[in-house]
Amino acid sequence: MTPLTEATTQATTPPWTQAAVSPPLLQAHGLALQAGPRRLLQALALQVEPGQVWALLGPNGSGKTTLLHALAGLAAPAAGEVRLGGRPIAAWPAGALACWRGLLPQAQSDAFGARVIEIVLQGRHPHLSRWAWEGPADQAAAQAALRAVGLEGLGARDVTTLSGGERQRVAIAALLAQDPRLLLLDEPVAHLDLRHQILLLQHLRRLAGEQGRAVLMSMHDLNLAHRYCTHALVLTGDGAVPQPGLVDAAMAEAPLAAAFGHPVRRVVLDDRVVFVAG
């Protein structure tokens, strides 16, 4: 067998495995968030690497949506800095930023009717020049995104005729078609039935693990968060300093109980960690 040369090693090693030489996909330094007079969190230090899937956990009003918007560059933090790929987020041109990170908002609104495929193709706009139309590659990406969320037969449907869960999956498909390296999702499994919750979380885990993407998503289901995420960040909304980390450490009973204001028991059932209210 011929020994691997340095050039061969570089050519055969996926770029997302070279964490030692590549900057993190996302960094937050000294981040503080404010909601009116209330300080939600302070001094957040967060580093997100390729292959990681993060759960943002916490009660209603703890700042999960506000944090996602700040990390996406859509809202200014009260203090601190956000960097994407080692660059301050303010230094990113809008088009390049939209190709690097994508955000799924918590709610969808349709003022006018449109075909499902047209909504999904909106995710391809950051990849097109100013006056370009979607080409075969964009159509293929949109169809693949619809298949990923189980809507491959609904491309011609009007979005205003869909159920809430179907509309949520269309929005997720648009984010997948956008093909960002960093996916920020605000309650992506809300409105989804159990089967589609599992299918979506499995798909996001594969995107991170096999393609070197990173995922941050707010969630309320502790069991799904622990099962499918590699890391977690528990928010309390009281101005405390969050402690992000590996999912097993971050989702211990004490920090979860403190955040939610209710006892949380962590038990092992059939070799799987399960969370129940105390």
CATH number for position 87: 3.40.50.300
Q: Does residue 44 fall inside a structural domain?
A: yes
Say whether pLDDT at 182 is over 50. Answer: yes
Task: For 49-83, write each residue's pLDDT tens digit.
Answer: 999 999 999 999 999 999 999 999 999 999 999 99
Mean pLDDT throughout 88-117? 92
Provide the number of structural domains found in the chain.
Answer: 1
Task: For 134-168, write each residue's pLDDT tens digit.
Answer: 789 989 999 999 999 999 989 999 999 999 999 99
Joined together, the tokens standing for residue 49 give 């690497």
Q: Does residue 212 fall inside a structural domain?
A: yes
Q: Are strands 53-57 and 38-48 parallel, antiparallel or unpaired?
A: unpaired
Q: Does residue 173 fall inside a structural domain?
A: yes
Q: Does residue 3 fall inside a structural domain?
A: no
Q: Does residue 14 fall inside a structural domain?
A: no
Joined together, the tokens standing for residue 161 give 């005729």
Q: Does residue 59 fall inside a structural domain?
A: yes
Joined together, the tokens standing for residue 276 give 């129940």
- Residue 96: phi, psi to the nearest 5? -65, -35
Q: Does residue 10 fall inside a structural domain?
A: no
Q: Are strands 231-234 and 53-57 parallel, antiparallel or unpaired?
A: parallel
Q: 198: domain range?
A: 21-277
CB 149 within 8 A of CB 169: yes
Q: Taking the model in full, what pTM does it have?
A: 0.89
- Rounded-to-integer distance, Cα 180 and Cα 79, Å: 26
Q: Does residue 11 fall inside a structural domain?
A: no
pLDDT in the model for residue 20:
45
Q: Could you tell me the CA-to-CA distances from 166 to 1, 162, 184, 187 in Å, in that order?
A: 53, 6, 20, 15
- Rounded-to-integer distance, Cα 51 and Cα 45, Å: 19
pLDDT in the model for residue 41:
93
Of 138, 75, 68, which is closest to residue 101 (Cα–Cα)?
A: 68
Q: Could you tell me the CA-to-CA distances from 211 to 16, 83, 205, 217, 230 in Å, in that order?
A: 8, 21, 10, 18, 15
Collapse the DSSP code of 214 into the 3-class scheme (helix H, G, I; strand E, B; otherwise coil) and give the result: strand
Say whether pLDDT at 7 is over 60. Answer: no
For the chain, the farthest-separated pair of C-alpha atoms sits apart, in whole angstroms, at 66
Joined together, the tokens standing for residue 183 give 């996916």
- Rounded-to-integer distance, Cα 96 and Cα 77, Å: 21
Length of the chain equals 278
Q: How many CA atoms lie within 13 A of 242 on its CB side?
A: 33
pLDDT in the model for residue 5:
36
pLDDT in the model for residue 10:
36
pLDDT in the model for residue 21:
61
Say whether pLDDT at 109 is over 90. Answer: no
- Rounded-to-integer distance, Cα 206 and Cα 153, Å: 23
Joined together, the tokens standing for residue 95 give 């088009």
- Rounded-to-integer distance, Cα 17 and Cα 30, Å: 27
pLDDT in the model for residue 134:
78
pLDDT in the model for residue 149:
95
CB 224 within 8 A of CB 201: yes
Say whether pLDDT at 1 is over 70. Answer: no
Q: Could you tell me the CA-to-CA distances from 101 to 44, 95, 182 in Å, in that order?
A: 20, 10, 5
Our CA dihedral for 111, 117, 120, 123, rounded to 10 degrees, sits at: -110
